[in-house]
Structure 1
């Protein structure tokens, strides 16, 4: 548990490397027949899970050096821990070979939906739950070319998993999206990394056309800063004191780069300089925000809305309910405890701004890294101290979050 005493943070920070891109680069390098060097890979729990999974499938990973190989079973079990990315990216890749492999996990992961893969694979391949539609899950290939139809309004991780695996099978394939694509930014990141590793994917009006028997080409790449993680410090700068965020790519394809556009829409003052993204204290106003493409920004945008003048409507937040926690309910519980005025309407939330958040409360992190970080930023500018029950959960995506928070002047006390 930690105690956060209200105090604005200030200064400059090198933003943690992108979790989304770290996953994608490590996977692509592990599928390449040769040696790649991927610098600035995020050092987090989720990336540890992905690297261990890839080593179970034949890759050799020594920090930034990755020796890829043809997919083969080295270990019988892949432990995805709590990483939905690891699980959903790696299932089709594990099915490139013809021996059974089990996927296991912990926390909320065994309960997170995999119905897209179940619909695609259950009647054609060995795809078997060992415990009542929850992990462990046993899969077996070999994956074959074909037409794969799936909804576009589910997690893009399913699409990414197929985009990585299908170029390696014999014969051409198509991915057909039966509903409009959401989380477009994450698919764009996947396509960007695949192009860098020599994989050609043709985009169709309603999906993707994929040539078979392609070969991943090894290469050397650097992982840029993470906009999903930067969003917490963007919020801190807007409601507190100036912050300079370094390491972000102004031309990034990361979907959560939208935090800049939303902040400006709310009246925020931000600008890219030669040193990085400069964020200034601003008088914010309430707006309408659509989360369908940017669900990971939901928790911190709810905090920003509390400090904005007027009402903010955050809509299409249904996918917040199937993350590491029900992030919609978690943030409503925490912010309401602090005095926020929030109304949940189906999968939207209406927030009355300028709530002047209080404190003197213990908040749950719900085992969720983004709830912990968003709550910490809310507490930074509250009237009184807050307590967080488990700060260690940030190790999933931003292990140095509280270390940086303190370095920037934040007041954090660790309580045994």
Structure 2
């Protein structure tokens, strides 16, 4: 494990924002289900997408560069290694169940512990859905998946909804997804619906869920993946805390839920605007507000950093889903920010952060094997009074492999 020392320095310059991880998954999967050739350009080159590309090939598709040749779902390999990608696992469970041969999912890191009980509740009685008592992986499933009413709570990961939205249009007969509570992370489901619509799939949204006509076909489609607001969020905050940063490759009309980073930062007093050149972020004196993370849990770590360096106090609510990500992100950020001298009141699903002008340096911070913790702590270094050390910077390869190259290009001072 390599240690990375970061010496505090303001960041400034231009960032060509990395491709959206969420959209890269969705376009590759939709293309794999379309019988024919689709060209998907600008797919993110990251560990999670390696897992998704291998998964589509295990189920009959071919991927050669940007060219995806889709097919009917058929088992080519009986083992799908999801690495640490929750999206890959949850999206592909229903897709793998479109055929009747057994497929076993494996994974590593925290993935075997991440809950799959939503699928277990709706599949266990009718299909093979087998895993050890102590862990959700390895998980063996088989179908064939049938149409019907699929009932689930809306306050669980939207990844379960997305998996069903991909698979159910391909079965015989119509289906419904019935949500028993309001849908959280709705923005991610909107992304799914938008992508599959581009591939010819029709799904109706209603007050309590979705109506999904059966016997549909995905049609080949060419697409280019837009820039990632989840990854851009770290450099948005870096610009507010440091010096002027211009972010390119972001769509102003994007459907990505994490575009909410702009709304949160502007409400805190951030000077941010779209220009002809891109999204311009200027250094700003931000003020604490109340932030509801119910729809955008991935923004939690970097917003905790911004809250720690904003005037007054910041209350972050609906943060319970941070506890079931690649790490317990709430606990991880509390531990690291406490080491940097931040005072906080921590509750089960919320945290009150008392802002200050600078952070304590000369500390080693634990990344907990989590890409978003590593990136958030790197940005926090801008306002530290001495160097910070990250215990494992390589974890950023999950979603933003070039993060530290970009960080350095903006003036970040890094020493292995």
- TM bracket (short chain): over 0.9
Which whole-Å deviations, capped at 9, do the CAs of 1:2-49 have from their partners, x for residues lacking one? 000000110001000000000000000000000000000000000000
State how far apart, in whole Å, the 2-side matches of 1:306 and 1:204 are: 40
Alpha-carbon displacement from aligned partner over 1:67-91 (angstroms, at most 9, x marks no partner): 0000000001000010000000000
For the residue of structure 1 that corresponds to 2:172, the secondary structure is: coil
8 Å contact from structure 2 (residues 301, 376) kept in 1: yes
Distance 2:313 2:408 in 1: 32
Quote the residue 2:99 is aligned against.
97
Of 298, 317, 320, which aligns to 2:322?
320
1:44-72 Cα distance to aligned partner (Å, 9 max, x none): 00000000011000000011100000000
1:341·1:355 contact (CA, 8 Å) conserved in 2? no
What is the SS of the residue equivalent to 2:101? coil
**DSSP-derived class of the 1:4 partner:** strand
Task: Look up the match of 2:188.
Answer: 186
Partner of residue 260, structure 2:
258
Mapped partners of 2:180, 2:21: distance in 1 = 28
The match for 1:152 is 154
| Structure 2, unaligned runs of 5 or more | none
Alignment of 1:62-77 (within 5 A): 62-77=64-79
1:373-384 → structure 2 map (5 Å cutoff): 373-384=375-386
SS in structure 1 opposite 2:87?
A: helix
Secondary structure at 1:134's aligned position in 2?
Answer: coil
Deviation at 1:347, TM superposition (A): 1.0
Aligned equivalent of 2:312: 310
1:185-334 matches, cutoff 5 A? 185-334=187-336
Describe how 1:33-44 pairs up with structure 2 within 5 A.
33-44=35-46
1:130 shift after superposition? 3.7
How far apart are residue 133 of structure 1 and its match? 4.0
Q: Distance in 2 between matches of 1:343 and 1:275?
A: 41
Contact 1:130 1:138 in 2 (8 A): no
Asked if 1 retains the 8 angstrom alpha-carbon contact of 2:241 and 2:382, the reply is no
**What RMSD over aligned residues (CA atoms) do the two structures have, in Å?**
0.7
**After superposition, what is the alpha-carbon deviation per residue over 1:362-399, rounded to whole angstroms, capped at 9, x for unaligned?**
00000000000000000122110000000000000000
Distance 2:221 2:319 in 1: 38
Q: TM-score under structure 2 normalisation?
A: 0.99
In structure 1, what is the Cα distance between the partners aligned to 2:136 and 2:195? Answer: 31
Task: Give the structure 1 partner of residue 410 of structure 2.
Answer: 408
Alpha-carbon separation, structure 2, partners of 1:64 and 1:368: 28
Q: What CA distance in whole angstroms lies between the structure 2 residues aligned with 1:37 and 1:345?
A: 47
For residues 215 and 349 of structure 2, the distance between their equivalents in structure 1, rounded to whole angstroms, comes to 43
Are 1:145 and 1:171, in contact at CA under 8 Å, matched by a contact in 2? yes
1:175 match: 177
Q: Is the 8 A contact 1:9 1:236 kept in 2?
A: yes
Q: Note the residue ranges of structure 1 that are not aligned, 5 or more in a row.
A: none
- Aligned counterpart, 2:125: 123
Match of 2:353 among 331, 342, 351: 351
Count of residues paired in the alignment: 414
Q: Deviations over 1:239-272 (max 9, x none)?
A: 1100000000000000000000000000000000
Would you say the 8 A contact 2:308–2:355 is kept in 1? yes
The answer to whether structure 1 residue 86 and structure 2 residue 88 are counterparts is yes
CA distance in 2, matches of 1:321, 1:139: 27
What secondary structure is seen at the aligned counterpart in 1 of 2:48? helix
Output the TM-score relative to the length of structure 1.
0.99
Give deviations 1:153-207, integer Å, cap 9, x for gaps: 0000000000000000000000000111000100000000011000000011100
Deviations 1:209-238 (A, max 9, x none): 000010001011000000000000000000
The answer to whether the 8 Å contact 1:340/1:355 transfers is no
